[in-house]
């Protein structure tokens, strides 16, 4: 029997509600493969910050480093100034643990309603590979002449050759393994000429090693249009941190809503634990009412299983979610967060 050391960070808002269901389904799937979960829960987020002023103490980061994977709900709360928890906890973990791949599948499951005009399930099946450690997220820049009419705020986008190349290479590997073998670089090289040219050149150079992969380019503004009008254009998408953030909320919307969108913050070399979390945030508007859809967290846990080498278990969770979504389309009755988790866990248990 294998034991997986799993850190759980429920976080804020609906985070604890959805993470409970994620762990429920994960435990069911793992137990069927003789895998035991050794979970440790970490109380991080708004409550801790109010009590102690801490976002992520060094000692906790060290403990997390020794875990095999992290499941995170969401962070951010209206009672905490914007950015404190987002930067001090979430981004700090992504940066410290070198989660340079932020993997965000955009898939329309059968039966799921999409706002697109003529949706066909097969038309929406892409994998967004969002860079996770650089870009405008890096925290470079600052404020000059604060509170004067001449105030200047800069927020520099960091793009290193090393950082761009490693995520582009990962995206080529993913594209190469998919039937369509298409890779689209999404950027804004007509305006962000320095960074855009670096991304273009790296894609061109790495692409030589992947002759089977067809390469395409799309400006990010046009990409938002094509996500809606021609989603079938996209197979694997590689893009910078900020563009990837924005287009994956759009991706969530076309594929049935933010409650279904999963992600993995991955360190492919396994030098550090990877972290899995829904694309959505803490949803303070619905927190505490058992209304949140835990499916995004459950699908994120499937990405975790895949990353941990438990591919069959991952497939079983995805299959259970697909069945649940299809049943939901036919039935239509409202279920609570816990009921959805129970139903998916039961479907995992029932699989042959």
Figure out which of the listed residues 21, 77, 86, 245 binds Mn ion, where binding follows CB under 5 A. 245
Q: Is 249 a catalytic residue?
A: yes
Size, binding site for ligand IPM by CB under 6 A: 7
The residues with which 265 forms a beta bridge, in sequence order, are 102, 275
Phi, then psi, of 154 in degrees rounded to 5: -120, 145
Please tell me the distance from the alpha carbon of residue 91 to that of residue 99, in angstroms, as a whole number: 10
Q: Which residues contact 64 (CB under 8 A, 6 or more apart)?
A: 7, 42, 70, 93, 97, 273
Answer yes or no whether residue 74 interacts with ligand NAD by CB under 6 A.
yes
The residues with which 12 forms a beta bridge, in sequence order, are none
Q: Which is nearer to Mn ion, 170 or 243 (CB)?
A: 243
Figure out which of the listed residues 63, 120, 285, 350 binds ligand NAD, where binding follows CB under 6 A. 285
Instruction: List the one residue out of 48, 47, 30 whose CA is nearest residue 39.
Output: 30
Q: Which residues contact 322 (CB under 8 A, 6 or more apart)?
A: 109, 110
Q: Is 137 a catalytic residue?
A: yes
Size, binding site for Mn ion by CB under 5 A: 1
Supply the minimum distance, in Å, between the C-beta of residue 279 and Mn ion: 6
- Options 77, 245, 324, 343, the catalytic residue: 245
Please tell me the distance from the alpha carbon of residue 138 to that of residue 17, in angstroms, as a whole number: 30
Q: Is 188 a catalytic residue?
A: yes
Q: Is 189 a catalytic residue?
A: no
Instruction: List the one residue out of 95, 13, 69 whose CA is nearest residue 300.
Output: 69
Q: Angle at which helices 295-307 and 337-350 pack, to 10 degrees?
A: 40
Query: Could you give the C-alpha distances from 350 to 118, 302, 311, 313, 321, in angstroms and in order?
Result: 34, 17, 18, 13, 13
Q: Is 58 a catalytic residue?
A: no
Figure out which of the listed residues 7, 90, 203, 298 binds ligand IPM, where binding follows CB under 6 A. 90
- Options 188, 293, 324, 343, the catalytic residue: 188
Supply the minimum distance, in Å, between the C-beta of residue 220 and ligand IPM: 15
Answer yes or no whether residue 260 interacts with ligand IPM by CB under 6 A.
no
Q: Which is nearer to Mn ion, 80 or 305 (CB)?
A: 80
Binding mask 240-259 for ligand NAD (x = CB under 6 A): ------------------xx
Q: Which residues are catalytic?
A: 137, 188, 221, 245, 249
Q: Contact positions toward ligand IPM, by CB under 6 A?
A: 76, 86, 90-91, 245, 279, 281
Q: Contact positions toward ligand NAD, by CB under 6 A?
A: 14, 18, 74-76, 86, 90, 258-259, 277, 280-286, 292-293, 296
């Amino acid at each position: 029997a294998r034991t997986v050391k799993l850190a759980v960070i429920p976080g804020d808002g609906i985070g604890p509600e959805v993470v409970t269901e994620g762990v429920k389904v994960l435990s069911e799937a793992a137990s069927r493969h003789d895998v035991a979960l050794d979970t440790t829960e970490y109380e991080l987020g708004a409550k801790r910050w109010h009590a102690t002023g801490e976002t992520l103490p060094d000692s906790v980061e060290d403990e997390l480093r020794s875990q095999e994977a992290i499941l995170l709900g969401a962070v951010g709360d209206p009672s905490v100034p914007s950015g404190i928890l987002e930067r001090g906890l979430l981004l700090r973990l992504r940066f410290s643990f070198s989660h340079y791949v932020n993997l965000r599948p955009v898939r329309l499951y059968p039966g799921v309603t999409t706002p697109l005009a003529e949706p066909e399930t097969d038309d929406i099946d892409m994998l967004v590979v969002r860079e996770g450690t650089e870009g405008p997220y890096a925290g470079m820049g600052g404020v000059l002449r604060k509170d004067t009419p001449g105030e200047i705020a800069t927020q520099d986008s960091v793009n290193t050759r090393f950082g761009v190349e490693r995520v582009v290479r990962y995206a080529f590997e993913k594209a190469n393994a998919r039937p369509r073998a298409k890779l689209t670089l999404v950027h804004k090289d007509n305006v962000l000429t320095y960074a855009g040219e670096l991304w273009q050149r790296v894609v061109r150079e790495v692409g030589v090693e992947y002759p089977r992969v067809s390469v395409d380019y799309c400006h990010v503004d046009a990409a938002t249009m094509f996500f809606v009008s021609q989603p079938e254009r996209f197979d694997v998408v590689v893009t910078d941190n900020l563009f990837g953030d924005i287009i994956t909320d759009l991706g969530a919307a076309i594929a049935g809503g933010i409650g279904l969108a999963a992600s993995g913050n991955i360190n492919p070399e396994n030098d550090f634990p990877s972290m899995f979390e829904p694309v959505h945030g803490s949803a303070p508007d619905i927190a505490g009412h058992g209304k949140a859809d835990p499916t995004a967290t459950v699908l994120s846990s499937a990405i975790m299983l895949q990353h941990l080498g438990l591919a069959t278990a991952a497939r079983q969770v995805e299959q259970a979610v697909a069945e649940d979504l299809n049943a939901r389309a036919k039935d239509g009755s409202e279920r609570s967060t816990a009921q959805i988790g129970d139903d998916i866990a039961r479907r995992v248990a029932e699989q042959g």
